[in-house]
Structure 1
């Protein structure tokens, strides 16, 4: 591990920076909170695992040069960016159709399976090219030219994902404390479906319309 991790002062700075970045709410946190409030702690934790693996995929992609491809190819960035945005909107439309199709007195519709929740979290995170660009910009600040850049970047990326997953679990646990009350509020459950749909569609619009390629 000595060859792939920076010396302790620099590693400490990396961990602190990772923690500060991870606790800052972003689209992934909104997604996790939405899932938790809609389906409870188990769904939220399944989403955390999916998001973490999607982020890890982006970290590995950055380490092997995927982010470099995005940086020089507007087409590659645009394709992945809009694929991710389209998938988020698709999730929102599905939630909206569910809310409109189910009468209020039949609000006990079976929730999405844990497999579906995991898959959605994974794709939401993986299909965000800005995450790969972020890793490409952030990780090199803590690597050394004396050792393998690929191995160092992949290891640091995995550490960052672990830190982010830890803070995501905290968000899910906090949300789960009020999820039960929200689901027991009768009409609020139906409105919760609309809120879920709005959150997904809003995240899709944010992904499609947000800043330039160089901004994580």
Structure 2
């Protein structure tokens, strides 16, 4: 029912999206460094539930709602752009720190770790775009079972994203130590991530494509 082209296509798109620095990566890394790998894994569980929420909503007609109420889509898009811009400012401002720089932060409870992982993912515009416009392009309308195709392809995206994010969360501490011994690399990483996030914010805010083709 689902062709190899669709599986490979969704896998490639998912890999490219998850490797692009964004809110999910920043939150998972920060929790893993400041509170340990267990905190990173718990946060990732919240992110996973966020994926499932988007997957279910997209397959059950959220795109139709956005198309019918473009103001709602615009509000969600601008909120995501503002969130990205705020993260970019935190990275680029004078005295800003890298996502891999150790910070003294109070430990969060298990419930808060999970909740913040969930909220961070739900406010991630990359994920909204993924489910509302990218994955549907790989669905074959002539193959039937469109809803099932959507959930299977979404499941592939979730598997790829969780595998990569888990590896990043588990390795965050090692990466932090490596960069801490190389302050120039740490600054480069901070400016690079801040620039990418800022560019994403501008692109998202200025994109005039409607919900159906965003």
Partner of 2:81: 85
Partner of 2:71: 75
Partner of 1:110: 104
Structure 1 residue 51 displacement after superposition: 4.4
Instruction: Tell me the secondary structure at the aligned position of residue 139 of structure 2.
Output: helix
Instruction: Tell me the secondary structure at the aligned position of residue 140 of structure 2.
Output: helix
Instruction: Tell me the secondary structure at the aligned position of residue 99 of structure 1.
Output: coil
How much is the aligned-residue C-alpha RMSD, in angstroms? 4.2
Structure 1 residue 65 displacement after superposition: 0.3
Deviations 1:63-102 (A, max 9, x none): 11001222343212111101111122233344566936x9
Alignment CA distance shift 1:120-1:187 (3 Å): farther
Q: Is the 8 A contact 2:66 2:72 kept in 1?
A: yes
**Alignment pair present for 1:23 and 2:15:** yes
Alignment CA distance shift 1:180-1:203 (3 Å): farther
Looking at structure 2, the residues matched to 73 and 170 of structure 1 have their Cα atoms a distance apart, in angstroms, of 39
Partner of 1:203: 200
Looking at structure 2, the residues matched to 16 and 133 of structure 1 have their Cα atoms a distance apart, in angstroms, of 19
Instruction: Tell me the secondary structure at the aligned position of residue 30 of structure 1.
Output: coil
Looking at structure 2, the residues matched to 183 and 36 of structure 1 have their Cα atoms a distance apart, in angstroms, of 18
Deviations 1:16-38 (A, max 9, x none): 222221222x3762125656776
5 Å-filtered alignment, 1:11-160, equals: 11-24=3-16, 26=17, 29-31=20-22, 40=33, 42=37, 49-95=45-91, 99=95, 109-111=103-105, 115=113, 118-119=117-118, 121-125=120-124, 129-134=128-133, 137-138=136-137, 140-141=139-140, 144-145=143-144, 147=145, 149-160=146-157
TM-score (norm 2): 0.64
Instruction: Tell me the secondary structure at the aligned position of residue 95 of structure 2.
Output: helix
Structure 1 residue 12 displacement after superposition: 3.7
**Alignment pair present for 1:164 and 2:161:** yes
TM-score (norm 1): 0.64
How many residue pairs get aligned? The number is 200
* Gaps in structure 2 of 5+ consecutive residues: none
Looking at structure 2, the residues matched to 133 and 164 of structure 1 have their Cα atoms a distance apart, in angstroms, of 17
Q: Is the 8 A contact 2:44 2:166 kept in 1?
A: yes
Q: Is the 8 A contact 1:67 1:136 kept in 2?
A: no
Q: Is the 8 A contact 2:48 2:162 kept in 1?
A: yes
Larger-gyration structure (1/2): 1
